[in-house]
Amino acid sequence: MNGPFEQLPQSPQLAGGPEQLEASASFDADVMAYIRRATQCGIYDIRGMGAKRRLPTFDDLVFLTASASRYPLEGYREQCTSRTVLGARFASKPIELEIPVTIAGMSFGSLSASAKDALGRAASEMGTSTTTGDGGMTPEERQSSKTLVYQCLPSRYGFNPDDLRQADAIEIVIGQGAKPGGGGMLLGQKVSSRVAGMRTLPEGIDQRSACRHPDWTGPDDLAIKIEELREITDWEKPIYVKMGATRVFDDVKLAVKAGADVVVIDGMQGGTAATQQVFIEHTGIPTLAALPQAVAALEEMDMSETVGLVISGGIRTGADVAKALALGADAVSIGQAALIALGCNNHCHHDGSDWVDVTGDYQQLGTAPGYCHHCQTGRCPVGIATQDELLEQRLLPERAAEWVRNYLQVVNMEVTTLARACGKSDVHHLEREDLAALTVEAAAMARVPLAGTSWIPGT
Ligand code: SF4
């Protein structure tokens, strides 16, 4: 017999003949499932990855590549550089990258040590940086990463001055796109003895990271913290400030005033290992809307050439990267795309000699390959978001690094291809004038004209 929490019958037949079925737009099947889940559990839903709802994205922009009024560069004979420098404002050793794509901060704890190792290897081979996360720096990660950005998070889990000095840059994390205003979560099943030891917290117990830094209450304290970090590192290392995209215009101005070398803005499509679903889907603004606000703030302060701007949150392809650069970013940062390159949501993993199907493991999580967002469980079928020794062995760092390296290579080739087609010999010469918007929303958010017009809504 069906209980009250079972699925509603698909086709209720009422006496008197077939009924014209019409679902409620407000209380559709998803909303009813949400309410039923809440009535059963009494706790909110926690999951990983980013927003699943449809949002305005870089797909809503197109490039106005060369034609009679512009001439393109020849792909096989004319060079297009993608070299990227970040953090030259105050730091004596700015970060120099071969490509404008960096690997975002993802913690050891949320990811396995093998996954962190693989990301470091791939980033190093491509001449770019990777980033630590909540819980500190692992030796494997430091060793495999030529350029490593060390995060200073509100929790301070695993944070120490020795690792700080080993880093190439420091990123103060004020917030993330998936959960601006909220802290991180690491459920007990992922708190292994090693993770617990690095965080000096008990093993197997759920960990919540703070949502604000313990030693500041506002922008003045941020300035003091930045100066403190500069002193510890002899003013050598660039200081990034990362924020979730909410009131971007004001936040960027405050971070610049506090002394940031680089500002990182993470849009609402940004991912996480675990947080409340209500954060992921209902906080922050899309990456497409956030970037022009950050650029406007830097322009108003006359800091566009001085302070670096990195954008993240749902960046997937070379086209996304090229459009972000054209809108004014100096680089992008990728998280979920890097995980997918590692094998996230694959129906199989490679054991070193052959592919092994793991569809059944997804089914045990109540999902299927292509739909998984279950990083919070620690039961990652492909060995990425887990601390389980056997599952972690499913990810072979050398092989996974090769996949990520190939992916980054393709992305960068796409960026330079688009830049050449726009007549640019440097990907950083892409500009807003190279873009048109396909929708009124994208035109208003990105502040570029609607295609075929000179109209930018709101200006
Ligand atoms: S496959 Fe692994 S990394 Fe990807 S969403 Fe599922 S649990 Fe997370």
**What would the two tokens of residue 387 be?**
């601390």
Q: Is 107 helix (H, G, I), strand (E, B) or coil?
A: coil
pLDDT > 90: what percent of the chain?
A: 87
Q: Would you say residue 64 lies in a domain?
A: yes
Question: Rounded to whole angstroms, how far apart are CA atoms 438 and 459?
Answer: 17
User: What residue's CA is closest to ligand 1, atom 2?
Assistant: 380
Between the CA of 380 and the centroid of ligand 1 the distance, in Å, is 5
Atom of ligand 1 nearest to the CA of 374: 7
- Tell me the per-residue pLDDT of 325-384, one tens digit each, with 9 for 90 and over: 999 999 999 999 999 999 999 999 999 999 999 999 999 999 999 999 999 999 999 999
User: What's the whole-number mean pLDDT along residues 226-236?
Assistant: 95
CB neighbours of 150 closer than 8 A, spacing ≥ 6? 131, 132, 137, 163, 164, 166, 167, 169, 170, 171
In the chain, how many domains are there? Answer: 1
Inter-residue contact 386 to 103 (CB < 8 Å): no
The CATH number covering residue 239 comes to 3.20.20.70
* Domain presence at residue 243: yes
Per-residue pLDDT reduced to its tens digit, 260-287: 999 999 999 999 989 999 999 999 999 9
> Helices H, strands E: what count in the chain?
15, 18
Residue 377 Cα to ligand 1 middle (Å): 9
Instruction: Indicate whether 36 belongs to any domain.
Output: no
pLDDT, residue 411, reads 98
| Ligand 1 centroid from CA 109, angstroms | 14
Q: Provide the 10 A C-beta neighbour count for residue 202.
A: 10
Q: What is the mean pLDDT of residues 42-61?
A: 94
Task: Look up residue 371 and give its two tokens.
Answer: 């739909």
Which residue matches tokens 């690491």?
Answer: 186
Q: How many residues does the chain have?
A: 459
Asked whether residue 9 is assigned to any structural domain, the reply reads: no
Whose tokens are 């060369």? That residue is 66
177 within domain boundaries: yes
Would the CB of 384 count as within 6 Å of ligand 1? Answer: yes
Closest by alpha carbon to 97, among 129, 141, 122, 140? 129
Range of the domain at 428: 58-446
Asked if the structure places residue 433 within a domain, the reply is yes
Distance (Å, whole) CA 175 – CA 97: 24
Q: Which helix (H) or strand (E) holds 115?
A: helix 113-125
Q: What integer pLDDT is reported at residue 2 of this predicted model?
A: 44
pTM given for the model: 0.93
- pLDDT value at position 5? 45
Q: Residue 178 domain-assigned? A: yes
Determine, yes or no, domain membership for 436: yes
